[in-house]
Structure formats: structure tokens, C-alpha cells
Chain A
Amino acid sequence: MGDGIYWPTFFFLLFSALACGFALAVVFSRNVVRMAFYLVMSLASTAGLFFLAGEDFVGAMQLMIYVGGTLVLLIFGVMLTSQKQFVEMKTPAGQWIVGLVTGCALVALLWMAAFETPQWQPISRAEAEAVAVQPTATPIGVALTNGRVDQLDQPDETLRGGMSSYLLPFEIVSVHLLVVLIGAAYLARAKRRSPSAAAPG
């Protein structure tokens, strides 16, 4: 099976084409609900890329939180705020031209940076096939609570003892989520509309 098709590359090309194509569709679509649909497809393809990079847990997380949670929320927002049947808002052509020129320049710059850096180039096929499949949830769980499985040969005694774990950021994010939960509920709570908003317009 030495030089047949290397399937991960094939699927990388497939998923990356889907992700980029749908991302472009998000930019060029004028209908908000279609944008949301393209965004869903783009993010789901990105989850495919995560699976391909061996990060099953993050991929599933992306599907569950991003695609299943955040985007449902977004579409919900679209439905709550749409007045006409299918919301469309136009952007002037001048802005499009400036935006596209800047965007293409930025992509070219980032691509050059990516492909000119020797450390980021592909490894050989033999090396890639030698990489062992490992469970992904356990190391992440352990790293979030008290230690890093991948830092066992860390020379610094203090760092090895668990300081390099992500316990503190994890706690901060948890508290942050709680604050956001309360804040969002407070912001979006039902209240009477102000009389000025009721004016025709």
C-alpha cells in the first residue's frame, strides 16, 4: 500500500474545499437564513478537519456547541428579528471592491507566511503513518484538572507538578459562562417597548 492514495489527504482536500466554499458563500449570500445555512455547512466541514487532525473530542465539541447550539441560537435570532419575509440587505458596490481587494491581499499574505515557514511543511508519509492513534478525551480531561500528559519530561519541577495544567483558565471560563448566562437573560428579558420605538419608520 506504499504509494496509493493517502486517504487523509483526500479527505483533507474534500473538507477544506467544502469549508472554504461555504465560507465564501456566506460572504456572497445576501439572504441571512441562507448565510446561516452556509455557515452551518462550513463549520461542520471544519469539524471534519478537526477529526482528520486526530482531535475527535474537539471535533465533537465543535459539532455539539457550535453547530448544534450557537448556530441554532443565531437562526433563532434571525427569525425573531426578520420583518420582511426573507431578509436581504444590500452593500454598496464600492465597499465590495475595496473589501475584496483587501481580502485577497490578506489571503495571499497569510498563504505566503504559511508556506514559507519550514517548520510547518508536511512530514513524510512514513512518519505520518507511524503516529499512533490515542484517546483524545482523557488527556484533555486530565490537563483541565491537574496535569499534562504531554509534559512529563518537563525539566522544571514546579511546572511538572501540575502548574502547567489548565485548571485556572477552566475555572475562569466556568465563572465567565455563568456571568454570561445571567447577563444574557437580563439583557433579553421581556419588557415594555419604549414609546419612541413604536413610531412608524
Chain B
Amino acid sequence: MHHFMLANLLTEPVGVAHYMAVGAVLFVCGVLCMALKRNALGVLMGIELVLNGANLNFIAFGSRFLRGEGQGLGLDGPLMALFVIVLAAAEAAVALAIVLNFYNNYDSVDIDRADQLQG
């Protein structure tokens, strides 16, 4: 099953699976970042990585170069990716505004200090 992973690595095209493998690494890195960083901006960077992993999958599904002519999702892939990029920009703007407010109130960007609502 895994024969194509290493054999003919340089002479054969890659497929959707390879893009998904890269996307998976980005995704998991992002999740780890979100879980392990205590800096609010580090968490934001984790979110960006997660979104990029997802984007890579969308692009791979839509690409004719990976699935062959006429196969694949067609335009849905790049369009979804575009929406993700735009929404990520919006999300970053709002999140940054929240982080700045948090910093104004607590003098820190350590998310562990955001425990006011904890009962």
C-alpha cells in the first residue's frame, strides 16, 4: 500500500494523499500550538496553521494536476480556500482586537490569567 511513498519519489507525480499528509502535519502543529502555548498570540498562530492545513486539502481536492483532467472537485476547491483565507483575515483582526483589550485589562497576554468566568 505504501510502496509509492518512497519508490519513484522523484520521477512520478504526487497525489492528493501527499498534499493531505502535509496538510495533516500543519493541522497537528496548529492544534499543538493552540493547546500548548500560553501566549494568546501563539494560540492565534496555531489557528492560522490549522486553517492552512485545511486549505491545503481543499486545494489538493480541486487541483486538476493531482487528480487528472476532469476529475476532482473542480472550482469548489480554490473557492473554498479563498473563503477560508478571507475569513481567517477577519478572524485575526477580531482576535487581535480582543487580545489588545485583554492586555489593556490584565497587563499580560497569558491566557491562563483569563479565568474571571471560572466559578
Contact = CB atoms under 8 A, between A and B. Distances in A.
Contacts, number: 281
Interface-central residue, A3, A23, A99, A188, by most chain B CB under 10 Å: A23
Contacts of A49: 19, 22, 56, 59
A61 B25 contact: no
A123 B66 contact: yes
Nearest to A7: B10
Contact of A65 (B30, B35, B41, B85): B85
A111 to B, nearest CB: 5
Interface residues of A, number: 102
Tell me the interface secondary structure of chain A in the complex: helix
B20 to A, nearest CB: 4
Contacts of B13: 6, 8-9, 122-125, 128
B114 interface: no
Interface residues of B, number: 84
Contacts of A74: 41, 44-45, 48, 92, 96
Nearest to A142: B75
Interface in B37-73: 37-39, 41-42, 44-46, 48-49, 52, 55-56, 59-60, 62-69
A3 B97 CA distance: 54
A156 to B, nearest CB: 16
A131 B66 CA distance: 9
B65 A131 contact: yes
Interface in A63-89: 65-66, 69-71, 73-74, 76-78, 80-81, 83, 87, 89
A122 B105 CA distance: 53
A27 B11 contact: no
A117 B17 contact: yes
A158 interface: no
A77 B100 contact: yes
B68 A70 contact: no
A193 to B, nearest CB: 6
Contacts of A27: 29, 32-33, 36
Interface string A40-65: 00110010011011110110011001
Contacts of A91: 36-38
Contacts of B9: 9, 13
B69 A114 contact: no
Given A32-B39, A49-B19, A49-B59, A183 B94 contact: yes
Contacts of A36: 41, 45
Contact of B103 (A52, A81, A139, A181): A81
Contacts of A73: 92-93, 96
Given A54-B64, A80-B100, A6 B10 contact: yes
Interface of B: 1-2, 4-5, 9-22, 24-33, 35-39, 41-42, 44-46, 48-49, 52, 55-56, 59-60, 62-69, 74-75, 77-79, 81-83, 85-90, 92-94, 96-101, 103-110
